[in-house]
């Protein structure tokens, strides 16, 4: 079998399966990506074609292989302090928050965890100088593969470039010996974060209301009906004064009713409703 031997029919099969499992829509120009990411899985399973591999996924007899395939096909680009303006807004919200209860933040598609740890660093800094209530941070993703990295808090050293120097010194450790060239988030910060596998297109588990939900640069992978379903579910998990963050270049205009824009990529529940 050759790397580029994915037929149009095979592509439709995996496209529909990916949409069913994750809500992500892919177009025919992604055929090369599908081939490159799943070719080794076809070989590891000793199959002679992509079609045979996709039939195995569809059979339901190997849920672990299905999860592996979905992990490989989902995009997970992220980095520390991405779109930094949002973290300044987050700090302002935390400073004004009710101190009689925890300030709760959820990164709903956290990928390998850089966004979650950025949130935690910002809140830990406010707590350090007495300008924030107690806080809780949760990260979730559909991919078990990226969640393993997120839980470990262990990254290549070049990831440090986006972290301010003072936070790098306070919350990160440089690897030595066999871990040279890597960066580890300090255990005290890691221990304050909860991670869970959550599929946003499925009914959500029972969740406490969140003061802030991050869902940045994710909606571009969904069609309009899936966007509406995901945002509607997240709205139900928001506190009355909660704020939803999407990407700076994303807009929820025309997606759902009941949200009002408060700035680039930020939305609140419409109090008039």
Q: Could you give the residue numbers annotated as active site?
A: 37, 141
Q: Which residues contact 256 (CB under 8 A, 6 or more apart)?
A: 228, 231, 232, 235
**Residues 78, 155: Cα–Cα separation, whole Å:** 12
Catalogue the E-assigned strands of the chain. Answer: 103-107, 135-141, 154-156, 172-174, 182-185, 193-197, 210-214, 238-245, 259-263, 266-269
Angle at 90 between CA 84 and CA 94, to 5 degrees: 150
Which helix (H) or strand (E) is 244 found in, with range? strand 238-245
């Amino acid at each position: 079998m050759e790397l580029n031997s994915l037929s149009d029919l095979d592509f439709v099969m995996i496209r529909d399966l990916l949409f069913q499992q994750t809500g992500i829509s892919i177009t025919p120009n992604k055929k090369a990506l599908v081939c490159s990411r799943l070719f080794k899985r076809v070989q590891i399973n000793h199959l002679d074609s992509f079609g045979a591999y996709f039939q195995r996924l569809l059979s339901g007899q190997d849920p672990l292989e299905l999860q592996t395939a979905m992990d490989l096909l989902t995009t997970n680009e992220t980095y520390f302090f991405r779109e930094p303006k949002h973290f300044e807004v987050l700090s302002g919200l935390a400073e004004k928050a009710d101190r009689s209860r925890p300030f709760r933040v959820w990164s709903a598609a956290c990928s390998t965890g850089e966004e979650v740890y950025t949130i935690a660093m910002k809140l830990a800094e406010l707590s350090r100088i007495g300008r924030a209530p107690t806080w809780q941070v949760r990260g979730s993703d559909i991919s078990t593969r990226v969640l393993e990295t997120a839980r470990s808090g262990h990254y290549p050293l070049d990831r440090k470039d986006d972290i301010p120097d003072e936070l790098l010194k306070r919350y990160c450790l440089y690897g030595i010996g066999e871990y040279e060239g890597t960066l580890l988030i300090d255990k005290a910060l890691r221990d304050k974060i909860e991670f869970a596998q959550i599929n946003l297109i499925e009914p959500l588990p029972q969740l406490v209301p969140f003061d802030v939900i991050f869902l940045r640069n994710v909606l571009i992978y969904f069609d309009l009906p899936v966007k509406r379903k995901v945002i509607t579910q997240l709205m139900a998990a928001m506190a009355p004064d909660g704020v939803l963050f999407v990407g700076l270049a994303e807009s929820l205009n025309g997606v759902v009713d009941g949200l009002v824009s408060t700035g680039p990529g930020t939305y609140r529940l419409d109090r008039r409703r």
